[in-house]
Amino acid sequence: MLWLILGLVLGAFFFWMATRANFKLTWYEWILVALATILALFAIQNYSASLTELEPRAANFLLMMFGLPAVVLAALAAGLAVFRIMRGKKATAQPTAAKS
């Protein structure tokens, strides 16, 4: 039941991101977001499965091995998007009075 609910929530979230008019990502930002999502889901699945098998040390190790790269990729995608938006706003800003 967890994976059904998680899949529905993630599907709705990606649909919402893709259809917003003021939220545009480049193709490589979408790839980074997709990889981060896949790694995060893989980390959650491995963590819960290892805890079910009573292996807390392996669960923590797998969470770090797959969860940390997921967080790094998500932060990289967000940073790239914010940097691109800020750079675009700076380029379209009106120039100040010309110095003579």
Reading phi first (left if > 0) and then psi (alpha if -120 to 50, else beta), residue 54 is in left
Q: pTM here? A: 0.75
Q: Is residue 39 part of a domain?
A: yes
pLDDT digits (tens, 9 = 90+) for 23-81: 788 889 889 989 999 999 999 999 999 999 999 999 999 999 999 999 999 999 989 98
Assigned domain for 96 exists: no
Number of domains in the chain: 1
Contact indicator for 29, 80 with CB cutoff of 8 Å = yes
Q: Judge whether 85 lies within some domain.
A: yes
Per-residue pLDDT band at 22 (split at 50, 70, 90): confident
pLDDT band of residue 95 (cuts 50, 70, 90) is low
Could you tell me if residue 83 is inside a domain? Answer: yes
Q: Is 99 domain-assigned?
A: no
